[in-house]
Amino acid sequence: MGRSPCCDKNGLKKGPWTTEEDTKLIQYVQANGPGNWRSLPKNAGLQRCGKSCRLRWTNYLRPDIKRGRFSFEEEETIIQLHSALGNKWSAIAARLPGRTDNEIKNYWNTHIRKRLLRMGIDPVTHTRRLDLLDLSSLINNNSPQLNLSNLIRLQTLLNPDALRLALSLSSLNNNNNQNTEVLLQNLQENQLLNNSHQLQNHHQAPFIQPNQFENIINQQIPSNLTTSLIQNQMQGNMGHYSANFQENSLTPTTTTTTTTFPSYCYDQMKGDFSENSSFQSMNNSFDSVLSTPMSSPPPLNSASALLNGSTEDERNSFCSDLFKFEIPESLNFDDFM
DNA sequence: AAACAGTGCAACCGCTCTGAC
DNA sequence: TGTCAGAGCGGTTGCACTGTT
């Protein structure tokens, strides 16, 4: 006849636990220790099934449970462990003292998963979902040059820093197909830069003008300059990728920006760079940054400082606005259909 | 102010897996 | 080897809270 049910469902209470029930369970477990859950409700005078008692104890009443919101470090740990372990919540919980598997699972499903999706990252595979932002449809790959009109249209959608970076990167290699690929990758990556930039400076960087844009496209940048520039930007402390594209940027009018990332973002950037031979030299910089011990307080402009004490919305916006575009009212969407 | 929708979280359900006996 | 209890997991529900209309 198979296994008998763990408890007689009839007559047993369900739903939220009362403080009285909690007190009974705590007192019983303190006196007798956890375990023997099937007989516990009867011995403790509880009208609950053993499984309900076990879940209540392990997920809520255990003295070592840490309540309250997840810290930024905990969140990072969850993401990194999930990328390695998958949905093994108990294994993840074992590495987060005071957190339960159920709590982590709920937090994943209600916060992190949504955030990753908004970032265009598949929460299962932890890889970027290109289908969410298929910029390739906006650029004519048959053109020997990057299609200027399309790029100008892109400029209306993307922060100018993104395009400056893209154009800088495109000068690294003379292969146009590869250029386009690199451009597409880094246009998306640089949404990170823009988003953090906005978070710190609380204002929108000015858009460059079309005539400036043509000058940018026509300008040739020595590849070693650009590479060293980007390498220099990776000398941020505390494991944060600090990018300052401004001093050597292609437009002289904007202010210096420093950009920081959660280390989770480094993995993505590092992976992206490693896929392209033009950027392999950057990997050492990533490695040195990632191996920097977190031994001193983070700078005020670090992601930790920004996120730990900020609101949930702010934390969301830090990573979730990666694909947020400014769309001018005059934009004709038919052009993209 | 009330109705409604969206969100977060505790708790539950059903199932599988594991280890002890 | 089969049974059982405990543990773990994915999915779901119900409710309280909050923001919007």
Residues A157-211: tens digit of each pLDDT: 343 333 443 343 344 333 444 443 343 344 333 333 333 333 333 333 323 333 3
Q: What is the mean pLDDT of chain A?
A: 52
Shared domain for A38 and A167, answered yes or no, is no
A34 CB closer than 7 A to any strand C atom? yes
Q: How far is the CA of A293 from the C1' of B11 (A)?
A: 40
Q: How far is CA A195 from the centre of its chain?
A: 12
**CA atoms of A289 and A17, how far apart (whole Å):** 48
- Reply yes or no on whether the pLDDT at A256 is more than 60: no
The answer for residues whose C-beta is within 8 angstroms of residue A84's C-beta and 6 or more apart is none
**What is the model's pTM?**
0.49
Shared domain for A45 and A165, answered yes or no, is no
Residue A11 forms part of a structural domain = no
Shared domain for A205 and A151, answered yes or no, is yes
Q: How far is the CA of A77 from the C1' of B1 (A)?
A: 45
Closest CA to A233 of A181, A327, A169: A169
pLDDT of residue A203: 30
Q: How far is the CA of A48 from the C1' of B8 (A)?
A: 25
- From the CA atom positions of chain A, what is the Rg in Å? 26
pLDDT of residue A10: 54
Shared domain for A87 and A23, answered yes or no, is no
pLDDT of residue A129: 59
Query: Are A49 and A7 in contact, with CB atoms under 8 Å apart?
Result: yes
Residues 14-53 of A with CB under 7 A from strand B: 14-17, 48-49, 52
Shared domain for A164 and A237, answered yes or no, is yes
Residue A66 forms part of a structural domain = no
Shared domain for A168 and A32, answered yes or no, is no
A114 CB closer than 7 A to any strand B atom? yes
Shared domain for A88 and A224, answered yes or no, is no
Question: How do residues A91-112 score in pLDDT, each as one tens digit?
Answer: 888 888 888 888 888 888 888 8
Residue A182 is given by DSSP the state: H
**CA atoms of A234 and A240, how far apart (whole Å):** 8
Shared domain for A245 and A315, answered yes or no, is yes
pLDDT category at A231 given cuts 50, 70, 90 is very low
Which nucleotides along chain B are within 7 A of a protein C-beta?
7-13
Q: How many domains does chain A have?
A: 3
- Reply yes or no on whether the pLDDT at A28 is more than 50: yes
* A32-52 average pLDDT score: 81
Query: Are A193 and A163 in contact, with CB atoms under 8 Å apart?
Result: no
Q: Which residue has the higher pLDDT, A127 or A255?
A: A127
pLDDT category at A130 given cuts 50, 70, 90 is low
The answer for residues whose C-beta is within 8 angstroms of residue A152's C-beta and 6 or more apart is A210, A213
Residue A216 forms part of a structural domain = yes
A34: domain CATH number is 1.10.10
Q: HSE (CB half, 13 Å, CA atoms) of A251?
A: 23
Residue A4 forms part of a structural domain = no
A88: domain CATH number is 1.10.10.60
Domain boundary among A51, A86, A118: A118
Residue A128 forms part of a structural domain = no
Shared domain for A289 and A256, answered yes or no, is yes
A121 CB closer than 7 A to any strand B atom? no
Structural domain including A107 reads 72-118
- Reply yes or no on whether the pLDDT at A124 is more than 50: yes
Highest average pLDDT, of A16-25, A190-199, A227-236, comes from A16-25
